[in-house]
Amino acid sequence: MSASMTTERSTLALPPTESITSPARARSSRNFIQRYPVLAFYVLAFAISWVGMLVVIGGPANFPGTSAQVEKLFLPAIVAWLAGPSIACLVITGVVDGKPGYRRLVARLLTWRVGVRWYALALLGAPLMYVAVAFALSLTAATFLPGILITSDRSALLVMGLAYGLVGGGFLEELGWTGFVVPRLRQRYSVLRTGLFVGLLWGAYHFSIIFWSGSHSGALGLAILLAQLFAWLPAYRVLMVWVYDRTQSLLVAMLMHASLTAGMLILQPLAMAEATLLLWLIAFSAAWWAVVAVLAVARALPRSRRAALGSIRALPLG
């Protein structure tokens, strides 16, 4: 047999390398996602949001942006940035759970019969907190008055706040955080641990858009950035997880996030300087952590009372 015939048969017998490795790589990727769905979700969500935003603003060279760049590109940048959690939710849900996962996601989105008190808490909690902290601090300086009271265009502020709150923070972000992550973490962790985990990564997710659009030079600027990202978002997320845990309603979680975002744009004081902004963030954070602490004590109190009653009943009194 000639060497040429042997080479020809060998070529025909062995398929191309891609036909062997591509399916194997696909199976390996799918197995990894199914084994670590939360990790896969966060990697995909951050990649879509951060890379998409960098593409819009023209690459890392424009990070952070100038005032002119931010004014010109903020809307497309924020749209690209918001796409990550929702797209990641849909993609990873399909890989991990398929059609049953989509049906469960829609069912939680359409769960609305949860009681008026939960709607009141979801819709009014954050706005009331903004107003309470703003008026308390306004006793020291008029700078802290709610933005809606001092703006020259209240209708535009209301429309922008409500639209961005409902579509951006409420739907696009929460479809990922509560739509995908929270139910999976609650299978293994408590409300507090789930809220802290999601809240810290929620803050980290905001780093790209906040750092690009703001000025954070110097020690005070760094303190403001850290406070914006990590001081109060975990506390509010703990409360969001607690509300979702009792309602199992993705809709209510979306409304709760929407009211927070809308309240920030409509009710937060406008044009605060660095020192006043840091003071605002500290006070706002302390207020939310106080609510979390009160909730934790209220939840623990019945258990302690039952334990005390059980101890009394166990005493040999007869």
Which of 161, 141, 154, 105 has its CA nearest to residue 273?
141
pLDDT at 169 over 70: yes
Q: Read off the pLDDT band of 17 (50, 70, 90).
A: very low
Q: What is the mean predicted confidence (pLDDT) over 113-134?
A: 97
Residue 309 pLDDT exceeds 70: no
Instruction: Please list the alpha-helical segments (H only) found in the chain.
Output: 3-13, 17-35, 37-57, 67-96, 98-109, 116-138, 147-150, 154-163, 174-176, 182-186, 191-213, 218-226, 233-247, 250-267, 274-314
Rounded Cα–Cα distance for residues 178 and 11 (Å): 52
Who has greater pLDDT, 8 or 74?
74
Q: With cut-offs at 50, 70 and 90, classify the pLDDT of residue 303.
A: low
Quickly count: other Cβ atoms within 10 Å of residue 31's Cβ.
Answer: 10
pLDDT in the model for residue 131: 97
User: Does position 268 have pLDDT exceeding 60, yes or no?
Assistant: yes
Residue extents of the structural domains in the chain? 22-288
Chain centroid offset of residue 112 CA: 21
> What's the pLDDT score for residue 206?
96
CA–CA separation, 53 and 81 (whole Å): 5
> Can you give the pLDDT at residue 63?
87
The residue type at 161: G
Minimum mean pLDDT among 1-10, 14-23, 26-35, 276-285: which range?
1-10
How big is the CA angle at 25 (ends 23 and 28), to the nearest 5 degrees? 110
In angstroms, the CA 70 to CA 214 distance is 9
Mean residue pLDDT across the chain: 88
- When pLDDT is averaged across residues 124-138 and rounded to a whole number, the result is 97
Please name which of 83, 77, 47, 79 lies closest in space to residue 176, comparing C-alpha atoms: 83
Instruction: Tell me the percentage of the chain whose pLDDT exceeds 70.
Output: 88
Per-residue model confidence (pLDDT) at position 215: 76
